[in-house]
Amino acid sequence: MATWGEVLRQVQESAALRGPLGPDLDGIRRDYAKALSDRTGRAVIVYASGWLTKGGIGGTALSVEADDVHAMMECCHDVPERELDLIIHSPGGSPEAAEQILNYLRTQFDYIRAFVPLQA
């Protein structure tokens, strides 16, 4: 896997190519998620919020909330793999919503491995 410096270089190159559109952060994220899935043979879901982003958004808009249960169900719909690598990067949120998400994931996957790169 890439170092932080290599990822930053990709972001800068993408920004230079796309000009005013800015870097293709979603495309870069998808490429790394696919590389992980190809390496492990597991489904990969990234649950991340922009809580380090400065600006007017705050509070529950960036936290795990009840609406996220439905979003996770949508992400898992028709995923054929029975093993999941879940990457979580979030400021926290509702314990009830997190429990509902976990209970749902347990119905969809036989094995779940969670990665928390910074905090959740």
Q: What does the pLDDT look like over 39-84, one tens digit per residue?
A: 999 999 998 876 555 554 455 556 778 888 888 899 898 999 999 9
34-39: long-range contacts, CB 8 A cutoff, minimum separation 24: 35/1, 36/1, 36/85, 37/85
Band (8; pLDDT cuts 50, 70, 90): very high
- Asked if 40 contacts 85 with a C-beta cutoff of 8 angstroms, the reply is yes
Do 28 and 66 fall within a single domain?
no
What is the DSSP pairing of strand 83-89 with strand 111-115?
parallel
Please state the pTM of the whole predicted model: 0.79
The structure tokens listed for 97 are 């919503």
Which range marks the domain in which residue 112 is found? 41-120
Do 15 and 54 fall within a single domain?
no
Do 21 and 51 fall within a single domain?
no
Please give the Cα distance from 51 to 108 (Å, whole number): 28
Do 14 and 63 fall within a single domain?
no
If one counts the domains in the chain, the total is 2
Do 47 and 9 fall within a single domain?
no
Band (19; pLDDT cuts 50, 70, 90): very high
Do 7 and 51 fall within a single domain?
no
Do 26 and 58 fall within a single domain?
no
- Span 97-109, mean pLDDT? 92
